[in-house]
Amino acid sequence: MDSVFKNAYWSYEERLKSFGKTWPFKEESSPCSPAEMAASGFYFVGNRKEPDLVRCFYCLRELDGWEPSDIPQEEHARKKCSFMELSKGHAEVTVLDGLQLEAERRIAILESEYQMQKEAFLQLAEEARTEMMGLIEKTAQKRKSRSRKKRT
């Protein structure tokens, strides 16, 4: 069971802590407050270039460019995320919920990895095909050239 929840950001408290001192929307009344962001599954991964970059611990979606009036749950819900679809507060998520979410998350990660590997393979296959066609063309040209020389 420990390995299932190995990711520290499964914990609301750890997500909340990640917002530290640099998060631009610290006011409790802000829809983008650290508490609201953490409750929406986000943790802070920002840097100098992207000072408001966050990532969902579950679906790994990254978002930045937050406005003070943005509502994290709505922004997050624009793409499929089973954690958001669960529609439970962090204190209401049961162990069974967590296990189901983790199983779905791992499947999604494997599907994503498969797609990336497939795309990389197809790209390499196309490059190899292009190179082989070039070699075939060169060989054909050399044969033509040799046959012309033999005739003369």
pLDDT per position in the chain (152 positions), as tens?
Answer: 344 445 778 889 999 999 988 899 988 888 999 999 999 999 999 998 999 999 998 888 999 999 989 999 999 989 888 888 888 877 888 889 888 888 888 888 899 899 999 999 999 999 999 999 999 999 888 888 777 766 65
pTM for the model: 0.67
Helix-strand-coil percent breakdown of the chain, rounded to 5? Answer: 55, 5, 40
Partners of 56 in the β-ladder: 42
Q: Does domain 1-87 match CATH 1.25.10.10? A: no
136 φ/ψ sector (left φ>0, alpha ψ -120 to 50, else beta): alpha
In the prediction, which pLDDT does 146 show?
76
Domain boundaries, the chain: 1-87, 94-152
